[in-house]
Chains A and B, each alone.
Chain A
């Protein structure tokens, strides 16, 4: 296995970690491999000397959870919070349900509306383009004006479509982060 393959696989296994922390771990192992290569080992050998990726990922995640748990327990004691981490997170999720669900649904509605507008603009531009060209034959100025309107509508539609597509990707990414965050929050051993 090459260094890049190793790091790619490790990254996948550490997907539960926050991106910044995951990058720190990847940088650490990347540096270890590079130092090992400089010490005279081949790349494949340097990678194999790191041991099992599953074991590394498991230990890293375990340490991270323990560390978070330790830090947050200390914080809990300071603030004298009586409830357990799991119970509190569940309570927060349930209590805030009337807020986050409509907000999340509103996000999708806005995206749907943007896509609908983009499609409308593109369709209007395309459908009206041919008749507008025909109008040029009878009334030049009015025809050209209509062609201009059609091209503008097409352009706006394409721009709006591209923007909506990017926003949808961002929204999906945010949904992924949210799901990972929730999944991580409810893992056993993670306290608030």
Chain B
């Protein structure tokens, strides 16, 4: 998959995984890796980018005698997911066009 496209998809996937509730790095990797290939070293910059973009916030909470960083989706993050879903029709139109051109070239 194209790196830029994957980056965009991963951002939305991470936000989607947070929509179900606050989560932490290890759990996010587990949740998302069932749908798209992701490693923790890929996740780190995504979380950082989403945080600096205001799509999520972070807080630290004690868990089993240690501190764990949790990520929480913001209204902007929810809006980003909705935006992606709204754009899906357009993406499908482009996809169909590309497919059409590609098939006619092959004939």
**Chain A residues engaging chain B, CB cutoff 8 angstroms:** 25, 27-29, 31-32, 34-36, 38-39, 50-51, 55-56, 59-60, 63-64, 67
Contact = CB atoms under 8 A, between A and B. Distances in A.
Contacts of A25: 44
B49 interface: yes
A45 to B, nearest CB: 14
A25 B66 CA distance: 17
A31 B24 contact: yes
A31 B69 contact: yes
The interface residues of chain B, by DSSP majority, are classed as helix
A64 B39 CA distance: 17
B39 A51 contact: yes
Interface residues of B, number: 16
A38 B27 CA distance: 12
Those 10 A-B pairs whose CB atoms lie nearest each other, nearest first = A35-B26, A63-B45, A59-B41, A56-B41, A32-B40, A32-B26, A28-B44, A32-B25, A31-B68, A31-B25
Nearest to B46: A63
Which secondary structure characterizes the binding site on chain A?
helix
B44 to A, nearest CB: 6
Contacts, number: 40
B96 interface: no
Interface in B13-63: 24-27, 39-42, 44-45, 48-49
Contacts of A51: 39, 41
Given A35-B26, A36-B26, A67-B48, A60 B66 contact: no
B64 interface: yes
Contacts of A27: 69
Contacts of B42: 59
Contacts of A28: 25, 40, 44, 69
A67 B41 contact: no
Contacts of A55: 41
Nearest to B68: A31
Nearest to B45: A63
Contacts of A35: 24-27, 68
A51 B44 CA distance: 15
A72 to B, nearest CB: 14
Given A28-B25, A60-B41, 11 more contacts: A31-B24, A31-B25, A31-B68, A32-B25, A32-B26, A36-B26, A51-B41, A56-B41, A59-B42, A63-B44, A67-B45
A148 B24 CA distance: 65
A31 B26 CA distance: 8
Interface string B57-95: 000000010101100000000000000000000000000
